[in-house]
Amino acid sequence: MVDASRIQEGAEVVGADGVHVGYVDHIEAGRIRLKRKDAAHGITTPQPRYLPLNDVGSTEDGKVWMAADAALVRYLEEQDKDGKPA
């Protein structure tokens, strides 16, 4: 698992394939909370989205690189504080 202190608020989150996933809002209970408003995708999500820190592959060049491709990362997403899958 990547050291959470290396993940900065506002950092871009990308899949292992380099495709944009979102931006870090903050770290909460061992998970990355993504910002609800995502200008890169032109969307605002109704619910907060969370990614488990265990699924982070690395942090490099100010980006958070997930261990899975972006298309698969959505299956790792959790909603709310209960940790239920999205």
3-state secondary structure labels for all residues of the chain: CCCHHHCCCCCEEECCCCCEEEEEEEEECCEEEECCEECCCCEECCCCEEEEHHHEEEEECCEEEECCCHHHHCCCCEECCCCEEC
Q: Contact 1/9 with Cβ under 8 angstroms?
A: no
| pLDDT tens series, the chain, 86 aa | 789 999 999 999 999 999 999 999 999 988 999 998 877 667 777 778 899 999 999 999 999 999 999 999 988 887 665 655 54
Question: The whole model's pTM is what?
Answer: 0.84
Each domain of the chain, given as residue ranges in start order, spans: 4-85
Tell me which fold the domain 4-85 belongs to: Photosynthetic Reaction Center; Chain H, domain 2 (3.90.50)
